[in-house]
Every structure is written in C-alpha cells, then in structure tokens.
Amino acid sequence: MLSKRSQILKISGNSEAIVLSVFENYTEYLETYDELLDFYEGNKFLLGNPVIRIFPIKKWQ
C-alpha cells in the first residue's frame, strides 16, 4: 500500500497506530491519505476520524 511512499516510521498497537511519512508535495500526501483512508474504512479498522499533523519542510537534506 505504501510501497511508493516514503514511510519513515510505523508503530501500531491493538487499538492505535502512528505513521511518520515524508512526501515531496501536498498532492502526494493527499493521494496517500485517500488510499489509506479507503483501506482502513473498507476494513472497518477506524473507530473515528484519524488525527493528522502536517509539518512542512522547505528543503530536505
């Protein structure tokens, strides 16, 4: 699912998970968000709306 994306860190437990990803642009983020949301909603893995935090990076070194 995230094979073409830049997933840096993923931690998951029985009822919660956190994923840290880096994207080249906002469009890439939106595509991934939609893909993941469809997957998790389709499999009834979500109990509510996910909490998303976006931290822009001007230049990746």
The kind and range of the H/E element at 20 are strand 17-22
User: Distance between CA atoms of 25 and 56, rounded to whole angstroms?
Assistant: 9
pLDDT in tens, 21-61: 888 888 999 998 999 899 989 999 888 888 999 988 877 66
User: Distance between CA atoms of 31 and 60, rounded to whole angstroms?
Assistant: 20
0.75 exceeded by the pTM? no
The kind and range of the H/E element at 27 are helix 26-42
pLDDT in tens, 11-24: 988 888 888 988 88
